[in-house]
Structure 1
Amino acid sequence: MNSFTSRAYAGIADLHRLIEFAQQTTGARWPGSTYTKAGDVVWALYQSKAGDANVRLWFDGDRLAAYALFEPPLSVDFDIRPGAPQDDLLLDEILRWAEERRRNLARLGKETIPKAYAMLGENTISTKALNSDQQRISILKRNGYTRTDRFHVLYSRSLVEASIVQPELAAGLRLRYATDDDLDARVDVHREAWSVWGQSKITVENYRRLRAAPLYDPELDVVLEDEAGRFLSYCIGWVDTANLIGHFEPVGCRPDSTGRGYARAVTLEGMRRMRARGLHTALVGTESVNERARVLYPSCGFVEVDRAHYYVKELA
């Protein structure tokens, strides 16, 4: 018999639960890789409203044992507390819930596959498993999931063992952080940066909500602007205070400004700010198809530490 219960995500109290959960799972697996970091939680959920049916929590008594976030139309991210009882049965239930969310969406006809996920197939559901997580891989295969050639690359960089170089900026360019007066410009650079992968969901309204969310630090929302005040690149840094680890999500650059070191400049500036806050390590990740990012991060001193392959299941 299952010893856990589940319910839908129910707002800000659950957001704090998930932040604490991410910090605990990160610490439990350190220095190994983890799934969702604390900053990922906020970045993923700041658009969600209380009772969002695409987010579900599982409990072992009063303790949070697992969560899952279904990202329409075909992707689910989830994590299970290390050492949770019957975690194989728990993973089975998470997958059943996510597959039903996917089928319901297909029945309603509300599915437009973003370019970034088109390679995974239209009638599928996908999730990720770290190459180092053999238990998850085994359970995914048992549930009919197969590994794809696509993967997420995870990088790590010490903030204390090596110097952080000062980027050279052309005349008229400056690094600073985004303020409440920059909402439109900040949303514009994000939407344009990610337009190559599909239409962004970011709006001024939900970006304003993000700026009021837990863990968000405006001074780690770094932008590079030109002399006309146009933002060329940006990054958001997140701080895991429990583990003294920093994490970047997202990092972006306008398509007409790539190849000039602009994304590298904001990333280096973000790392300097993280180190000033007493953090010892910075983490970042990118998709295998993002060739520019896979050049960018090693140029900033990051080293690849793991990969999380996509596993896909075709649904009737």
Structure 2
Amino acid sequence: MSSFSSRAYASSADLDRLIDFAQQATAARWPRSSYMKVGDVVWMLYGAKPGDPNIRLWFDGSRLAAYVSFEPPLHVDFDNRPGLAQDDLLFDEILHFAEERWQDLARLGRGPIPKAYAMMVGDTLSSTALDSDGRRISLLERRGFSRADGFNVLYSRSLIEAPIGQPELDAGLCLRHATDADLDARVDVHRDAWSVWGQSKITVESYRRLRSAPLYDPELDVVLEDSDGRFLSYCIGWADTANAMGHFEPVGCRPDSTGRGYARAVTIEGLRRMRARGLRTALVSTASVNERARVLYPSCGFVEVDRAHYYVKRID
């Protein structure tokens, strides 16, 4: 029997705990990548409600030992604190929780599988493991998981060792950051950009909440605007000042505007703004199926540092 205790996500104080957890895990795994960076934490949880049954925290004493976020209908993101003792016992508890959530949702009617998980089948539970995390791969495989075809590519770029350059813009286009006066337009470009992967859950109200979330910096919420005031592309940058790292989550471009360098322009501008804040490294990731992004990021100076492969387990 383990000595860990667990409970559901409870309050904004837990968001602060998870931000601190992500900073420490990122530092411990450097120069390879980590699971959730600070930007991932805020982007995923800024709208979480207390008692959310899909988010759970584990503690050893008063210190956060692990987190789980179950994404219906079949995917679970989690991480244990690097170097944690008895992490195999905690691993069992986490996966048991994930399988129970899977079963609960199956009984309620789980709904369609998102396009991002199209490589999965409906009776499986999925998670990811970094190629650099041999221990996690071994623990997953010993518990019945096997590697699937899909993966996420994780990139890194120095902000100080190579020039960033100026974004290249066509006449009539301008780069700036989103303001409180841009809520509708900013939500519209996000929803349009991600429509190719399914319907976005972002609304004007949820985006307004994001703008007051911890670590959100409005000047790192970069947009590319045309002469008619229409946003064509955007990115959000996050500053992990403890590690002097920046992180992009998300980056998007309207489907009718792809292939013109617009996503590259906002990314380059985001890199320039990160460097101006004293950050030394930038991180970003994308799914293996996102072929445009896998061309975009290397064109901005990013290099691949790790991959997070999907692992799946069939559930009866």
Task: Tell me if both proteins adopt one fold, taking TM over 0.5 as the criterion.
Answer: yes
Match of 2:24 in 1: 24
AA partner of residue 236 (structure 1): I
Cα distance in 1 between the residues matched to 2:106 and 2:182: 38
- For structure 2, the residue ranges without an aligned partner over 5 or more in a row are none
Match of 2:183 in 1: 183
Cα distance in 2 between the residues matched to 1:111 and 1:261: 36
Q: Which deviations, in whole Å up to 9, do the C-alpha atoms of 1:111-168 show, x marking residues without a partner?
A: 2211221221111111100001010001101111110111000000000000002122
Give 1:100-249 correspondences, 5 Å limit.
Answer: 100-249=100-249
- For structure 1, the residue ranges without an aligned partner over 5 or more in a row are none
AA partner of residue 306 (structure 1): D
Deviation (angstroms), 1:268: 0.3
Q: Which deviations, in whole Å up to 9, do the C-alpha atoms of 1:241-280 show, x marking residues without a partner?
A: 1101000000000000000000000000000000000000
3-state SS of the aligned residue for 1:196? helix
Alpha-carbon contact 2:119-2:149 (below 8 Å) kept: no
Alpha-carbon contact 1:57-1:67 (below 8 Å) kept: yes
Alpha-carbon contact 2:237-2:247 (below 8 Å) kept: yes
Match of 1:289 in 2: 289
Cα distance in 2 between the residues matched to 1:64 and 1:294: 34
Match of 2:2 in 1: 2
Alpha-carbon contact 1:68-1:78 (below 8 Å) kept: yes
3-state SS of the aligned residue for 1:216? coil
AA partner of residue 251 (structure 2): V
Alpha-carbon contact 1:114-1:199 (below 8 Å) kept: no
Give 1:24-43 correspondences, 5 Å limit.
Answer: 24-43=24-43
3-state SS of the aligned residue for 1:135? helix
3-state SS of the aligned residue for 1:119? coil
Deviation (angstroms), 1:32: 2.0
Deviation (angstroms), 1:29: 1.4
Match of 1:46 in 2: 46
Deviation (angstroms), 1:239: 0.5
AA partner of residue 15 (structure 2): L
Cα distance in 2 between the residues matched to 1:32 and 1:154: 9
Deviation (angstroms), 1:47: 2.3
Structure 2 length normalisation: TM-score? 0.99
Give the RMSD, CA atoms, in angstroms.
0.8
Cα distance in 2 between the residues matched to 1:236 and 1:209: 15
Task: Report the more deviating stretch, 115-124 or 255-264.
Answer: 115-124
Match of 1:266 in 2: 266
Cα distance in 2 between the residues matched to 1:115 and 1:16: 31
AA partner of residue 266 (structure 1): V
Cα distance in 1 between the residues matched to 2:25 and 2:305: 17
Q: Which deviations, in whole Å up to 9, do the C-alpha atoms of 1:215-259 show, x marking residues without a partner?
A: 000000000010001000000000001101000000000000000
Count of residues in correspondence between the two structures: 316
Cα distance in 1 between the residues matched to 2:80 and 2:272: 32
Give 1:72-111 correspondences, 5 Å limit.
Answer: 72-111=72-111
AA partner of residue 77 (structure 1): D
Deviation (angstroms), 1:93: 0.9
Deviation (angstroms), 1:294: 0.1
3-state SS of the aligned residue for 2:132? coil
Match of 1:255 in 2: 255
3-state SS of the aligned residue for 1:120? coil
3-state SS of the aligned residue for 2:259? coil
3-state SS of the aligned residue for 1:294? helix
Structure 1 length normalisation: TM-score? 0.99
Deviation (angstroms), 1:68: 0.6
Alpha-carbon contact 1:125-1:313 (below 8 Å) kept: yes
Alpha-carbon contact 1:8-1:53 (below 8 Å) kept: yes
Deviation (angstroms), 1:77: 0.6
Alpha-carbon contact 2:176-2:223 (below 8 Å) kept: yes
Cα distance in 1 between the residues matched to 2:239 and 2:4: 31
Match of 2:64 in 1: 64
Deviation (angstroms), 1:53: 1.2
